[in-house]
Chain A
Amino acid sequence: MSAAAHADHTHDHDHGHDDHHNPSFLRKYVFSTDHKMIGMQYGICGLIFLAIGFILMIAMRWSIAHPGEIMPVWIRTLLGMFGKGFMDQWAPNGVMDGTLYNMFGAMHGTIMVFFGVVPLGVAAFGNFVMPLQVGAVDMAFPRLNMWSFWLFLVSGILMFGSFFVPEGAAQSGWTNYSPLASTVGAHSPNPWLHGQTIWLLAMVFNISASLLGAVNFITTVMNLRAKGMTWMRVPFFSWAMMVIAFLLLLAFPPLEVAALLQLSDRVFGSSFYLPTGLYVNGQHLDISGGGSPLLYQHLFWFLAHPEVYVLILPGIAICSDIIPANTRRPLWGYKSMVGGVLVLGFLSFIVWAHHMYMTGMGQSISTFFQFTTVMISVPSVILLTCLMISLWGGSIRFTVPMLWATAFLPMFGIGGLTGLPLAFNMIDLYLHDTYYVIGHFHYVVAPGTIFAMFGGIYHWFPKMSGKKLNSFLGHLHFWPSLICMNLIFAPMFWQGMAGFHRRWYNGGLGFPETSKGYLHLNGLMSSAAFWLAAAQLPFIINLVYTIFFAKKVNDDNPWRATTLEWATPTPPPHGNFLIEPVANRGPYEYAAPGTTDDFIPQWAPLNDYEKAHGAKELPETPKAPAHTH
Chain B
Amino acid sequence: MEIPYTVQPRPDTGLANPKLGIWLFLASEVMLFGGLFSSYIFLRVGADFAWPFHDLIVWPGLTNTFVLIFSSVTVVMAWASLKMRQYRKYQMYLAITILCAVAFMGLKSYEYWGKFHHYGITLTDGTIMEGHVGHSKQGDKIVFGEVNKITISLKNPSSDLRVLDYRVEKNAKFDEHHPVEGEHLYHDVEGKDPIKVKTQDGKEVELTKAWLSEERAKYMTAHKAANALERAALDAGNKEYQRPPLTVPESVTLEVVGEPLLLKVGERDLLSYDKGSLVFREETKVTGKLVTDSIEFIPDCIDLRHAKNMDKSTAWKYLGEDMKAKFFASREKSLKELKEHKPWLFNNIKVDAADRVKSTGDEDVTRRADRYNDEDDKEWAHSLDHSKLIEIDRADKRFFSNFTPRYNNFYAIYFMMTGLHGLHVIGGAAVLLWFLCTGRKMYETNPDQLANRIEVGGLFWHFVDLVWIFLFPLYYLM
The answer to whether A and B touch directly, with their CB atoms under 8 angstroms apart, is yes
Q: State the A residues within 8 Å of B (CB).
A: 18, 69-70, 73, 88-89, 92-95, 136-138, 140-142, 144, 166-167, 187-190, 193, 211, 214-216, 218-219, 222-224, 249-254, 256-258, 260-261, 264, 268-272, 276, 286-292, 295, 298-299, 302, 574-576, 624, 626, 629
- Tell me the minimal C-beta distance from A211 to chain B in angstroms: 5
Q: For residues 409 through 433 of chain B, which have their beta carbon under 8 Å from a beta carbon of chain A? A: 409, 412-413, 415-416, 420
B351, CB-defined interface residue at 8 Å: no
Nearest-neighbor residue (CB-CB) of A93 within chain B: B230
Q: For residues 221 through 237 of chain B, which have their beta carbon under 8 Å from a beta carbon of chain A? A: 223-224, 226-227, 230-231, 234-235
A224 to B2, CA, bound (A): 11
A218 to B171, CA, bound (A): 67
| Contacting residue for A187 out of B21, B223, B281, CB 8 A | B281
A574 to B1, CA, bound (A): 8
- Tell me the minimal C-beta distance from A451 to chain B in angstroms: 31
> Which 8 A-B pairs give the minimum distances between C-beta atoms?
A575-B1, A257-B35, A270-B412, A270-B405, A253-B32, A269-B406, A70-B234, A254-B35
A89 to B27, CA, bound (A): 46
Q: Give 27 CB contacts A-B under 8 Å.
A: A70-B231, A70-B234, A88-B224, A92-B223, A94-B230, A136-B3, A137-B3, A141-B21, A167-B158, A187-B281, A189-B158, A189-B160, A222-B20, A223-B16, A224-B4, A249-B24, A253-B35, A261-B39, A264-B405, A268-B405, A269-B405, A270-B416, A272-B413, A289-B48, A292-B43, A298-B42, A575-B1
Q: Decide if B5 touches A224 in the complex (CB within 8 Å).
A: yes
Q: Decide if B43 touches A295 in the complex (CB within 8 Å).
A: yes
Nearest-neighbor residue (CB-CB) of A625 within chain B: B2
Nearest-neighbor residue (CB-CB) of B404 within chain A: A268
Q: Decide if B31 touches A250 in the complex (CB within 8 Å).
A: yes
Q: Decide if A95 touches B234 in the complex (CB within 8 Å).
A: yes
B25, CB-defined interface residue at 8 Å: yes
A290 to B35, CA, bound (A): 19
Q: Decide if B35 touches A219 in the complex (CB within 8 Å).
A: no
Q: Decide if A93 touches B243 in the complex (CB within 8 Å).
A: yes
Q: Which chain B residues border A270 with CB–CB below 8 Å?
A: 405-406, 409, 412, 416
A268 to B408, CA, bound (A): 11
Q: Decide if A166 touches B157 in the complex (CB within 8 Å).
A: yes
Nearest-neighbor residue (CB-CB) of B406 within chain A: A269
Q: For residues 34 through 54 of chain B, which have their beta carbon under 8 Å from a beta carbon of chain A? A: 34-36, 38-39, 42-43, 46-49
Q: Which chain B residues border A92 with CB–CB below 8 Å?
A: 223, 226-227, 230
A260 to B24, CA, bound (A): 22
Q: Decide if B3 touches A142 in the complex (CB within 8 Å).
A: yes
Q: Decide if B43 touches A223 in the complex (CB within 8 Å).
A: no
A256 to B32, CA, bound (A): 7
A216 to B34, CA, bound (A): 22
| Contacting residue for B158 out of A144, A188, A276, A288, CB 8 A | A188
- Tell me the minimal C-beta distance from A230 to chain B in angstroms: 9
Q: Which chain A residues border B4 with CB–CB below 8 Å?
A: 137, 223-224
- Tell me the minimal C-beta distance from B206 to chain A in angstroms: 23
Nearest-neighbor residue (CB-CB) of A574 within chain B: B1
Q: Decide if B1 touches A271 in the complex (CB within 8 Å).
A: no
Q: Decide if A93 touches B21 in the complex (CB within 8 Å).
A: no
A94 to B412, CA, bound (A): 44
- Tell me the minimal C-beta distance from A33 to chain B in angstroms: 11
Q: Decide if B29 touches A626 in the complex (CB within 8 Å).
A: no
| Contacting residue for A272 out of B39, B223, B271, CB 8 A | B39
Q: For residues 189 through 229 of chain B, which have their beta carbon under 8 Å from a beta carbon of chain A? A: 220, 223-224, 226-227
Nearest-neighbor residue (CB-CB) of A248 within chain B: B28
B177, CB-defined interface residue at 8 Å: no
Q: Decide if A288 touches B21 in the complex (CB within 8 Å).
A: no
Q: Decide if B20 touches A219 in the complex (CB within 8 Å).
A: yes
Q: Decide if B27 touches A140 in the complex (CB within 8 Å).
A: no
- Tell me the minimal C-beta distance from B5 to chain A in angstroms: 5
Nearest-neighbor residue (CB-CB) of A194 within chain B: B158
Given pairs A223-B20, A224-B17, A271-B409, 7 additional interface contacts (CB within 8 A): A70-B231, A136-B3, A222-B13, A222-B20, A249-B28, A291-B409, A299-B35
Nearest-neighbor residue (CB-CB) of B39 within chain A: A295
Q: Decide if B158 touches A295 in the complex (CB within 8 Å).
A: no
Q: Decide if B409 touches A257 in the complex (CB within 8 Å).
A: no
Q: Decide if A214 touches B39 in the complex (CB within 8 Å).
A: no
Nearest-neighbor residue (CB-CB) of B410 within chain A: A290
| Contacting residue for B34 out of A69, A70, A253, A624, CB 8 A | A253
Nearest-neighbor residue (CB-CB) of B159 within chain A: A189
A488 to B18, CA, bound (A): 48
Number of interface residues of B (CB under 8 A): 65
| Contacting residue for A253 out of B1, B28, B220, B224, CB 8 A | B28
Q: Decide if B28 touches A250 in the complex (CB within 8 Å).
A: yes
Interface string of B132-167 (1 = CB under 8 A from A): 000000000000000000000000111010100000
A286 to B230, CA, bound (A): 41
| Contacting residue for B46 out of A137, A258, A260, A292, CB 8 A | A292
B317, CB-defined interface residue at 8 Å: no
A140 to B342, CA, bound (A): 61
B15, CB-defined interface residue at 8 Å: yes
Q: Which chain B residues border A211 with CB–CB below 8 Å?
A: 25, 28
A89 to B183, CA, bound (A): 47
B407, CB-defined interface residue at 8 Å: yes
Q: Which chain A residues border B47 with CB–CB below 8 Å?
A: 290
Q: Decide if B401 touches A288 in the complex (CB within 8 Å).
A: yes
| Contacting residue for B35 out of A166, A218, A302, CB 8 A | A302
| Contacting residue for A94 out of B17, B231, B415, CB 8 A | B231
Q: Decide if A290 touches B48 in the complex (CB within 8 Å).
A: yes
B268, CB-defined interface residue at 8 Å: yes
| Contacting residue for B1 out of A137, A188, A219, A264, CB 8 A | A137
Q: Which chain A residues border B42 with CB–CB below 8 Å?
A: 292, 295, 298
A298 to B48, CA, bound (A): 19
| Contacting residue for B31 out of A223, A254, A286, CB 8 A | A254
B333, CB-defined interface residue at 8 Å: no
Q: Decide if A288 touches B409 in the complex (CB within 8 Å).
A: yes
A582 to B377, CA, bound (A): 79
Given A93-B243, A250-B31, A288-B408; A272-B43 close (CB under 8 Å): yes
| Contacting residue for B416 out of A18, A260, A299, CB 8 A | A260
Given A93-B227, A211-B28, A290-B47; A264-B162 close (CB under 8 Å): no
A215 to B28, CA, bound (A): 9
Q: Which chain A residues border B404 with CB–CB below 8 Å?
A: 268-269
Q: Decide if B43 touches A291 in the complex (CB within 8 Å).
A: yes
A219 to B20, CA, bound (A): 6
Q: Which chain A residues border B413 with CB–CB below 8 Å?
A: 272
Q: Decide if B46 touches A18 in the complex (CB within 8 Å).
A: no
Q: Decide if A288 touches B399 in the complex (CB within 8 Å).
A: yes
| Contacting residue for A290 out of B28, B243, B405, B409, CB 8 A | B409
Q: Decide if B39 touches A257 in the complex (CB within 8 Å).
A: yes
A136 to B1, CA, bound (A): 10
Q: Decide if B39 touches A166 in the complex (CB within 8 Å).
A: no
Given A219-B20, A219-B21, A272-B409; A264-B416 close (CB under 8 Å): yes
Q: Which chain A residues border B162 with CB–CB below 8 Å?
A: 189
A193 to B36, CA, bound (A): 26
Q: Decide if A215 touches B39 in the complex (CB within 8 Å).
A: no
B282, CB-defined interface residue at 8 Å: yes
Q: Which chain A residues border B336 with CB–CB below 8 Å?
A: none
Q: Which chain B residues border A302 with CB–CB below 8 Å?
A: 35
B10, CB-defined interface residue at 8 Å: yes
A187 to B47, CA, bound (A): 26
Given A73-B235, A94-B231, A215-B25; A187-B271 close (CB under 8 Å): yes
- Tell me the minimal C-beta distance from A124 to chain B in angstroms: 21
Nearest-neighbor residue (CB-CB) of A295 within chain B: B42
Q: Which chain B residues border A287 with CB–CB below 8 Å?
A: 399, 406
Q: Which chain A residues border B29 with CB–CB below 8 Å?
A: 253
